[in-house]
Amino acid sequence: MSEQWRLLRHGARSAYENMAIDEAILRCVTAQTSPPTLRFYRWQPSAVSIGYFQGIEQEVDLEACAARGVDVIRRLTGGGAVYHDYEGEITYSLAIPDDYPGIPHKILDSYGILCQGLIVGLRSLGMPAEFKPINDIIVNGRKISGNAQTRRFRGILQHGTLLCEVDAPLMFTLLKVPNEKIRDKLIASVEERVTSIKREMGAVDRERVTQAMIDGFAEALDIRFVPGDLSDHEHALAQTLREENYATNTWNYKR
């Protein structure tokens, strides 16, 4: 019998709200006051997120971000700095208990299973998606999705991006690079190594792509989704986490 998960389709929120909501859901899932949850969302305004162990001033051109109205935030998960473009990606997160049936205890082993939902979804759209360790999904040899995970509060939080369009010059305007010569090489490298829904399909139908991902997770993980919303407690907890953590310099400049 299929497991039942909650499905949240949240549209666009600020970086501070998005990261606070992800943590609030994780805490409530592990407290058994909320069911396992898959959430889809966007970033408005666009944002740069850095991994939990990174230093914001070392990774991000803060002046360039401020000039373009781009938020900057530290994630709860590890990994590198990522530019989240409002038009350029679909973001998902999932939260489950750390003893969820069939999910390996080792993070590196679990990526291959939890990313299968995206792979099945992309294949249903006609793209020959494959998992590439540690935590990427590739199509025709190029990266289309990056994913990050953390184990906290006796739960698993994994979130990741599905690239709809890629603006490499803008990305390397917002991220710190040593000099213009290196910037040009990095842009060329990204344009060679990274792909997108638009590049593979010629157009981006967000609703169609998101539904394909939902169906992909349902098939890959043998789950049944029930559309829902945040509980009152999750709303309140997310607001507290946003104000006391994610929107503060103490959190974002902690390293």
Query: CATH number for the 3-15+25-228 domain, one of 3.30.70.20, 3.30.930.10, 1.10.3720.10, 3.10.400.10?
Result: 3.30.930.10
Pairing of strands 89-97, 37-43: antiparallel
The residue written with tokens 């400049």 in the block is 253
Q: Which residues of 14-49 are buried (b: 16+ CB within 10 A; e: fewer)?
A: bbbbbbbbbbbbbbbbbeeebbbbbbbbbbbebbbb
User: What is the C-alpha to C-alpha distance for residues 141 and 104, in angstroms, rounded to an integer?
Assistant: 27
User: What is the C-alpha to C-alpha distance for residues 42 and 10, in angstroms, rounded to an integer?
Assistant: 8
In terms of Cβ atoms closer than 10 Å to its own Cβ (0-12, 13-18, 19+), residue 97 is: middle
Confidence at residue 186, expressed as pLDDT on a 0 to 100 scale:
86
Check if the beta carbon of residue 25 is closer than 8 Å to that of residue 17: no
CA proximity to 93, closest of 114, 108, 121: 114
Q: What value does the mean pLDDT of the chain take?
A: 95
pLDDT digits (tens, 9 = 90+) for 130-154: 999 999 999 999 999 999 999 999 9
Verify cis geometry, omega within 30 degrees of 0, for the bond prior to 50.
Answer: no
Q: What distance lies between CA 78 and its chain's CA centroid? A: 11
Domain assignments of the chain as residue spans, ordered by start: 3-15+25-228
Is a pLDDT exceeding 80 seen at residue 1?
no
For the full predicted model, state whether its pTM sits above 0.85: yes
As a residue count, the chain comes to 255
User: What is the C-alpha to C-alpha distance for residues 100 and 29, in angstroms, rounded to an integer?
Assistant: 11
Confidence at residue 179, expressed as pLDDT on a 0 to 100 scale:
75
What are the tokens at 98? 């750390």
User: What is the C-alpha to C-alpha distance for residues 106 and 101, in angstroms, rounded to an integer?
Assistant: 13
CA proximity to 6, closest of 214, 209, 235, 238: 214
pLDDT digits (tens, 9 = 90+) for 149-183: 999 999 999 999 999 999 999 999 999 987 777 88
In degrees and rounded to multiples of 5, residue 15 shows phi and psi of: -60, -40
Check if the beta carbon of residue 150 is closer than 8 Å to that of residue 78: yes
In terms of Cβ atoms closer than 10 Å to its own Cβ (0-12, 13-18, 19+), residue 156 is: buried
pLDDT digits (tens, 9 = 90+) for 15-67: 999 999 999 999 999 999 999 999 999 999 999 999 999 999 999 999 999 99
